[in-house]
Structures are given as C-alpha cells and as structure tokens.
Chain A
Amino acid sequence: MCQVDEEYNGQLEHRVTPRGCFKEYFIHKFRAMLGKNRVIFPGEKVLLAVSGGPASSSMLSQVQEGLSRDAPKKLRFVPGIIYIDEGGASGQSMEERKRALAELESVFRATNYHYHIVHLDLPSSVLEAGSSATEKPQTGSSYKAAVDHFIQTRKNQNQHPDLSVENVQSLRMQEVQSGGTSPITPEHTQALQRLFASVRTLTAKEDLLHTLRQHLILHTARTQGYTKVMMGDSCSRLAIKLLSNISLGRGASLATDTGFSDPRYGDVVIVRPMRDYSSKEIAYYNRMFDIPSVFIPGLDCKAQDKASIQRLTESFVTKLQADFPSTVSTIYRTSEKLNTACPPQNTNTQLSAKCLLCVCALDTKLEEFSAYQATLISEQLSQRRGPRPGFTPGTAAAPGSPPASSAGQGQSQGCETGEGGCCPSPETVDLKSLLCYSCGLTIKDMTTRDALPQYILSEAERRRSQMREISEFLLEDEAIPRVNGSL
C-alpha cells in the first residue's frame, strides 16, 4: 500500500508510482467518505468553508477533482466557497489582511465557483440562532427517498431553477461583486477588537471566535440558499477538538461537534469530509501536487503551549502522536462510535431548549443531583455568606431550591439567584440561562457583555420575552410545597 507512512525503500527509487498511487488513495478516501454517509444530494448547493489552511485547500481541490468532467462517477452538487476574514479579531493589520485576501481570491477565481468573502467585523449580521428545525431531519428514510424528497421540494421552490455547474459559472461574475466583499470599515474592526479585548482568557477568545465564525457561515449559507456546508477538519484536528471540547465542558455535544454530519441547525447540515485524513497526509498531498494554500496567522499564533486549553491539548496530542503513532486514529475511532441520541422532536422544547451561541441542546436543565447543580452550589457557597438582601426563603440561593426551578424554564429563579449576589447584574444571569455550560463559561469570562454583537443580544432579548410569556402559563412551583426539596 502506498501510504505515505509506509517504510518502503521502493519509494526512494520509484518516485512516480507511489505518487500516483497515493493520489488515487487520497481521492478515493474523499469519495468514500461522501459515499458512505450519503447526505449530499445531487444538484444540491454546498458551501465549502475554506480558511486558507492546508486541510480546507485540500478539500477544495478534492471537490474540484470530484466535479471535473473526466472523473468516473463524478460528484454532483453545486459548490460555493466561503472565506471568513478574521483578521480583525487576531489583530492583523489592514495590509496583511488585504494581501491575504488577494492571494485567496486568486485561488478562488481559479476554481470558477461562486465565492463569498465575509468579514468577521460585521456585527449587524442577523442570525436567528434558534430558528432552525424547519426541515425535519431524515431519520431512517432511505437515501433514495431523501433524494426524491429533495428534488421535489426544490422544484416547488422557484428560487433556484435547475442550477447546473455551467449556470453557476455564468452567474459567477455577479455573485462575486455581491458576495459579501463589503469594504472593511474601521468602526467594525474596532467593535470586534473591543469584543475580543473584553475576553480575558485565550481559551474563551478562541471559543468565541469559533462560535462567531460558525454563525457567519450559517448566516451566509441560509441567505444564499446553501443547504450543506463542508468544513475541512482533518483527523488530527478533530482528535484535538474532541479532547479540548471535553475540557471545555462541551461533552454533551461531542458527537455533533466531531462527527461527520452536524445537524443541529436543522435546515443547514455541516459535513466534514476530511475527517479521515491525518494532517501529515494532507501536508504531503499538498506538497506533492502543488495545492495552493495561504497561511493566515490565527489568534494563538506563537502563543505559549499553556496559553489556552486548545493549544495545550494540541501540543499534548501532537507530542503523544510522535511516540505513539496510533494516538490520533484511536481518538478518531472512538469519536466515530459516538452517536447523537436524537431527542424526540417535541415542539414544546423548541428554540428555548437550544443554547443561544452554539445551538446545541441545553445541558443546564437544572435537575436534581446533576453535576451542573453541584457546580452551582459550590459557586453560591463560595461567593458570599449569610442571608442576602432580597432573599426569599424557599426559592433562590438555598441549596435545595434549584430543583424547584426545573419545572419552569428557570427564568425568574435565575433572576433571583442573580440578586443573591451570584452575579453582579441580572442580565448576566439571564444570558446564562440561555446558554449551555461551556458557552456560559465563555461569556462569564468577558468583562462586559455589551461588546457582544448586536444580533446575539437582540436574540437573547427575544427569547427572554418569549420565556416570560410562556412562564405565565406554567404552574408556579413556589405555590406547591415540594416534599423532598424544600427547606
């Protein structure tokens, strides 16, 4: 087998054969990954999220390979490219960003696909973080039926009549101009920098950046009519992500974060076709076949090993991999075994049950005796002692009280806990009840919440008012004496 890591002396003499063999193996893996998990429908619009890095550039070239005419059984979907310019967050100067953009644009133009360049400094990008669930996920139905259904719905929508690749090319010119390449305005950059300056730790910064990036990709996909997004996460990267997500408190959403398909947004599905490639393979392939890629320094460039959880995990896994080459593949195989237990699609637990930022299921439902409740108790106990002003017995601040709020959505109780001195301002706690555990940690790390993009704050406000309306119809738990919980 002509894998790169095989120690064949033959590789030294015959340079041609392993190269061709390797290329076939590489291409085959991509198609096998797409073919095994049949989620891409023919004719569908797929957004390729390209960061300029080696993995995503490699993915781009694989898509080109697959869509080219002479490929046997060629892939059939309509690709578009998106690149998110994060220079404002990572402190790059305008010239550097422009230079990188120019390089990338030349790469994108060579592919003849639609491309969208979006800057992260647009804080006014409207995103309804919760308004997914419009399309039921295809659980259990066969692929053929799903394809038929897809073609039917597409016929019904008269928006994208029969977009073939040729039409895409002809539309390219208009799309390019309107493709979100609005000029970088200094105010937006400053707002973005202010946001990231208000976050204390690098871990939270990276987390926040990742979240904002996801939001932007999702927003672009929705507005431009893409139903699938391809991310270029490689095997090594996903192994690192798996471990660092556990450390960050995202264990509940591991399967969606690192699995092949990520259906949490409902109408847009994120797929990761590169998850079978180690970064070494990708590096070799790019080198051998001259895949153009552009390096954009990120937030954690040249940072210390211990600067953030993600960085530490990366160095840990990489170093371990050097001595034990099966590390990454073991982690990868383990992640393959993780499955999302699909929650029953109750219409009751709709938007309110999803985290505001990462749109995964909220894991902070305050049940009794959960680990989360234990951390809350520790937090309360370690903050202040003695009775607090505004303390109403039987509700907030007593260790037994958090279970009392589990029936309601925790909104009003959250406010009272806030007055109990847990958190300084009531709106902080309100935000916390809309977030999952790890997003809550990220937000807690911020010194000020106002720097958050407007769309997040307005969405939070919308949900809060929605909760308030709903809570009026729910039975008040304080009125009912709890047998086992009250003190």
Chain B
Amino acid sequence: MSIETRMHIMNGKTRSHLISTSQQSGQAGMLFKQLETDWGGAELLFGSVKEHHVTLPNQSEPWDMKQLLVWIRGNMLKERPELFVQGDTVRPGILVLINDADWELMGELEYELQDKDNVVFISTLHGG
C-alpha cells in the first residue's frame, strides 16, 4: 500500500491562509482529508503553503483527531511545532473546524476521521 501525498498548492485565494491537507479516499481505503489552516499566520508554520491535500496512510483502526495531530506534527509542520500543537491537542487559540462545524461538537480529539473530511485550523492569535 503506497502512501500518496499530494501537496496541492492553491494560489490566488484571498481568503487568508488556508492550509488544507486533503485526504481523499482512494480505492485502497486510504483516508483523504482536506486540512486547511486558515488565517492568522498558521500557514507560516506550514511553509506558507495554502492547501495541502494529503493522504493519510492506511492503518487498521480508524484515524482520530489525536493521531492526526501527531501526524501533522511529524510530517507537515515545518517549524516551531509548539506554536501549533501543545501536548495532545492544539494550542489554545487555534480553532478547529471539521466540515465547517466546531470540533467540540464532534468530540474534539476522539472524533474519527471520515473520507473526504474537511478540517480547518483557524488561528485567532495575534501573530505567528
């Protein structure tokens, strides 16, 4: 099973900073998610890339948010991980939207990721 990572850079989006990691479901049952890091300069930690379409590697148990964060920290954060991830969860001040709904409604870290989920990270902090 190969791990596909497509880094899809979308330019010209005046809608502030979106880092999207897309996980699109493929035939082999790999999860596609679209992660966006929106606004507030969170994109700076991701190499100033606006949208990343990323395929999560396949694994037996379903992916949940906690694992996703670990994965992001290991694979996608270019610098200063402590500005994005704090311990188990995201740093306070960073909003997480799963399919445009607050992740608190979805169970926060325990939410199990589905195919074609759209996860958006919005930083409400001042800088960086």
Contact = CB atoms under 8 A, between A and B. Distances in A.
B126 A300 contact: yes
Give 6 nearest A-B pairs by CB, closest first: A302-B128, A322-B92, A301-B127, A279-B124, A318-B93, A301-B128
B126 A311 contact: yes
Nearest to B43: A295
Interface of A: 4-5, 7-9, 11-12, 15, 54, 103, 106-107, 236-237, 279-280, 282-284, 286-288, 290, 292-295, 297-303, 310-311, 314, 318-319, 321-322
B38 interface: yes
B14 A303 contact: no
Nearest to A57: B16
Contact of A300 (B101, B120, B127): B127
B40 interface: yes
B17 interface: yes
A59 B92 CA distance: 24
A237 B128 CA distance: 15
Contacts of A4: 102
Contact of A297 (B95, B97, B124, B128): B128
B41 A301 contact: yes
Contact of B92 (A283, A290, A295, A318): A318
B11 to A, nearest CB: 12
Interface residues of B, number: 29
B109 interface: no
Interface in B89-117: 92-93, 95, 97, 100-102, 104-106
B78 to A, nearest CB: 12
Nearest to B36: A287
A311 B83 CA distance: 13
Contacts of B40: 54, 295
B39 A297 contact: no
Contact of A11 (B83, B105, B120): B105
B44 interface: yes
Nearest to A278: B124
Contact of B122 (A7, A107, A287): A287
B6 interface: no
Contacts of A7: 104-105
A147 B39 CA distance: 40
A286 B95 CA distance: 13
Given A15-B100, A287-B100, A322-B92, A301 B16 contact: no
Given A107-B14, A293-B39, A301-B44, A288 B125 contact: no
Nearest to A292: B14
B41 A295 contact: yes
B102 to A, nearest CB: 7
Nearest to A297: B41
A297 B14 contact: no
The residue in B83, B105, B127 that gathers the most chain A C-beta atoms within 10 A of its C-beta is: B127
A153 to B, nearest CB: 39
12 contacts: A12-B101, A12-B105, A12-B106, A54-B39, A106-B14, A282-B124, A286-B16, A287-B122, A295-B39, A311-B126, A318-B93, A318-B125
Interface string B39-64: 11101100000000000000000000
A107 B39 CA distance: 16
Contacts of B15: 290, 292-293
A280 B128 contact: no
Interface in B59-77: none
Given A294-B14, A301-B44, A319-B92, A287 B127 contact: no
B128 A300 contact: yes
B127 A283 contact: no
A236 B126 CA distance: 10
Given A7-B104, A297-B44, A302-B80, A287 B124 contact: no
A458 B95 CA distance: 47
Interface string B15-37: 11100000000000000000000
Given A295-B41, A318-B93, A283 B124 contact: yes
B16 A288 contact: no
Nearest to A55: B124
A295 B126 contact: no
Contacts of A287: 38, 97, 100, 120, 122
Contacts of B125: 314, 318
A298 B105 contact: no
A321 B83 contact: no
A378 B124 CA distance: 41
A322 B86 CA distance: 12
A302 B83 contact: yes
B127 A298 contact: yes
B16 A54 contact: yes
A290 B39 CA distance: 12
Contact of A236 (B83, B105, B124, B127): B124
Given A301-B44, A302-B83, A103 B14 contact: yes
A293 B120 CA distance: 16
B88 to A, nearest CB: 13
A288 B101 CA distance: 10
Pick the most buried of B39, B95, B97, B106: most chain A CB atoms within 10 A of its CB.
B39
Contact of A286 (B39, B92, B104, B106): B39
A473 B113 CA distance: 79
Contact of B95 (A106, A280, A300, A302): A280
Contacts of B122: 283, 287
A280 B16 contact: no
Contacts of A302: 44, 80, 83, 127-128
